[in-house]
Structure 1
Amino acid sequence: MTTVEVFAPPEVVIRARATVGEGPVFDRRSGGLCWVDIDNGLLFENDLTTGEQIVSSMPTLLGAAAPRLNNRGFAVAVEGGFGLFVDGELQLVDPVLPESYRRMNDAKCDSQGRLWAGSTHKEFVPGVGALHRWDGRAESTVMASGFSLPNGLGWNADDTVMYLADSMTHQLLKADYRCGEEDLGEFTQLCEVSPGLPDGLAVDMDGCVWLAVWGGYAVHRYDSTGRLIGRVPMPVEKPSSCAFADDGTLYITSASAGLSEADLLQQPLAGSVFALSTTTRGVPVHAFAG
């Protein structure tokens, strides 16, 4: 039987009441932590040293934002597709989701600086979700389809495996990945996650996946075979995603969506951002090269 390491509860570092806090990523340009509130179209840029916070608002649902490598602003996955957010202005560059019932969800850049994002039906209709890839220079490409709610995604340190959560089917998936090539292997189940829904994730240099479990009051750590080897107890019901800082600290976003007033009295930190010290390091998450 595999021993499951139980970590100490994380500390709150950003007190907030985000509806759906998501998409944490570090901006190499500033050193700050960026994250979003999907439902409210908000982008947060936090200086964790000074406590300064910059909040930007967009007139649309905001699935995720990726810092740009050589330019100002961010590449964003929004309700209608992919765009750029620069100097407070949103430009929808690739309107790949014209239907009002679809939206982009979580997104992350690969080692070549291309933005991958999952799209979903707003009612999470099975099979409608897809995985898209956008380089900023041409129209995006659908790389895989048939999902319900494609969510947290990432790659191992060798760039040979891609991970993807399909939340509504309770699955953490994996596929063979060849960096720089056009083909992507078929996604297969790495493990089933229940109770709760698999949400955002981060991959560490030891080959393990740290997965926020929405509705599960926890972040799980799985090894490369899908075995649960670690559990981070959370003071909130809906941890939503996580990202590593360079020093190995894991930052965890959360949500307050769907919680009653009574729930919020019991979970006053719902929608906040937390930090956990670990003994590992995260696989680097890259900036958008487009």
Structure 2
Amino acid sequence: MSRPARIEVAVREYALLGEGPTWDPALSRLVWVDILGRRIHTYEPGSGRRSVTAVAQHIGAAKPRAGGGLVANLRDGIGLYDAGGAFSWLRHDPVPGRRGNDAAVAPDGSLWAGTMRYDERPGGGNLVRFAADGTATALLDEVTISNGIGWSPDASLAYYVDTPTRRVDTLRLREGRISERTPFASVEPGAGYPDGLTVDADGCVWVALWDGGQLRRYTPHGSLDRIVDLPVARPTACAFGGPALRDLYVTTARTGLNDPPAPAGSLLVLPDAGHGVPGTPFAG
């Protein structure tokens, strides 16, 4: 089940809480964030060029927009950056003690954005769908640490992680709302906690294990079929990138660790790890 994988440091960085890698095909670059460092990072594998942009508050995720720029899941709501970097709010909804966490763009171009409490109070977060015009639809209430989100290749299922449950769940929608939530795969106690995820072209679900130092791949039936050991304790999320979507990028964290190893906080890559599914930019 576990087999050696070639793991490289794509970008040497010291992110406190690296998260949310996403391939931007329009600009041939990877986008990710440092939540606690309040930074948006980009990296172009073809040229090696990269950029780092400071933001005003904690940022859980940044995803490409159809017209250029980025949509961001921020502490106080959903923000928009245009192609020139100018900022505006799509939805300003500050809640004391709460911040945005992971987010993903659905196949229909909407943004699914999760939140959590800074104190990780059980039930203090949610998952909300944002349409292009900012219309918000609550999908899940009373989650604790809203994390990984992805879709099956045929878009019939969403995959979702509320980290303390130690599960990946499947979600089915009817008329824009979740009609069914079913456990898909569980992580055993002591093996870490499921964090961010991505789905490959075979319909397999790759999950990063916080405090587990691993990536795990589950078949479409929920069976564990591959384990990749990583040189960091806190991988946070993964995404396929590169022109052919064959390289698997992994964000990592160093927050809360005493004397973390050198790669902690860097962007890692597993070359030719599989085949990803093209993403959809946010329609707004």
| TM-score normalised to structure 2 length | 0.93
Between the aligned partners of 2:65 and 2:239, the Cα distance in structure 1 is 17
Paired residue secondary structure (1:157): coil
Structure 1, unaligned runs of 5 or more? none
Partner in structure 1 of residue 98 of structure 2: 102
Kindly provide the CA deviation profile for residues 106-125 of structure 1, in whole angstroms up to 9, marking residues without a partner as x.
01101111111111111111
- Assess if the C-alpha contact under 8 Å between 2:245 and 2:278 holds in 1: no
Q: In the alignment, does 2:145 pair up with 1:149?
A: yes
Partner in structure 1 of residue 278 of structure 2: 284
Partner in structure 2 of residue 164 of structure 1: 160
* Per-residue deviation, 1:268: 0.6
Letter in 1 for 2:26: R
Number of residue pairs matched?
279
- Assess if the C-alpha contact under 8 Å between 1:83 and 1:91 holds in 2: yes
Partner in structure 1 of residue 206 of structure 2: 210
Partner in structure 1 of residue 24 of structure 2: 27
- Assess if the C-alpha contact under 8 Å between 1:76 and 1:84 holds in 2: yes
Between the aligned partners of 2:264 and 2:119, the Cα distance in structure 1 is 23
Kindly provide the CA deviation profile for residues 45-75 of structure 1, in whole angstroms up to 9, marking residues without a partner as x.
11112211111111101010111112x3111
Between the aligned partners of 1:90 and 1:213, the Cα distance in structure 2 is 33
Partner in structure 1 of residue 257 of structure 2: 259
Partner in structure 2 of residue 271 of structure 1: 265
* Per-residue deviation, 1:183: 2.7
Between the aligned partners of 1:66 and 1:166, the Cα distance in structure 2 is 20
Paired residue secondary structure (2:9): strand
Letter in 2 for 1:171: R
Paired residue secondary structure (2:66): coil
Between the aligned partners of 2:271 and 2:133, the Cα distance in structure 1 is 38
Between the aligned partners of 1:182 and 1:77, the Cα distance in structure 2 is 20
Letter in 2 for 1:277: P
Paired residue secondary structure (2:78): strand
* Per-residue deviation, 1:186: 2.5
Letter in 2 for 1:237: A
Kindly provide the CA deviation profile for residues 135-158 of structure 1, in whole angstroms up to 9, marking residues without a partner as x.
231332111122111101000011
Residue number among 216, 221, 224 corresponding to 2:220 in the alignment: 224
Residue number among 105, 120, 125 corresponding to 1:129 in the alignment: 125
Between the aligned partners of 2:102 and 2:121, the Cα distance in structure 1 is 17
Q: In the alignment, does 2:53 pair up with 1:59?
A: no
Residue number among 179, 185, 188 corresponding to 1:185 in the alignment: 179
Partner in structure 2 of residue 15 of structure 1: 12
Paired residue secondary structure (1:187): strand
* Per-residue deviation, 1:182: 1.2
* Per-residue deviation, 1:191: 1.8
After TM superposition, the structure 1 stretch with the greater mean CA deviation from structure 2, 128-137 or 210-219, is 128-137
Kindly provide the CA deviation profile for residues 200-249 of structure 1, in whole angstroms up to 9, marking residues without a partner as x.
11101111100000111110001122221101110000011000123411
CA 1:13/1:138 → structure 2, altered by over 3 Å: closer, same or farther? closer
Residue correspondence of structure 1 range 30-109 to structure 2 within 5 A = 30-70=27-67, 72-86=68-82, 87-96=84-93, 98-109=94-105
After TM superposition, the structure 1 stretch with the greater mean CA deviation from structure 2, 44-53 or 138-147, is 138-147
Between the aligned partners of 1:174 and 1:111, the Cα distance in structure 2 is 16
CA 1:260/1:247 → structure 2, altered by over 3 Å: closer, same or farther? same
After TM superposition, the structure 1 stretch with the greater mean CA deviation from structure 2, 105-114 or 83-92, is 83-92
After TM superposition, the structure 1 stretch with the greater mean CA deviation from structure 2, 221-230 or 157-166, is 221-230
Between the aligned partners of 2:204 and 2:256, the Cα distance in structure 1 is 30
| TM-score normalised to structure 1 length | 0.92
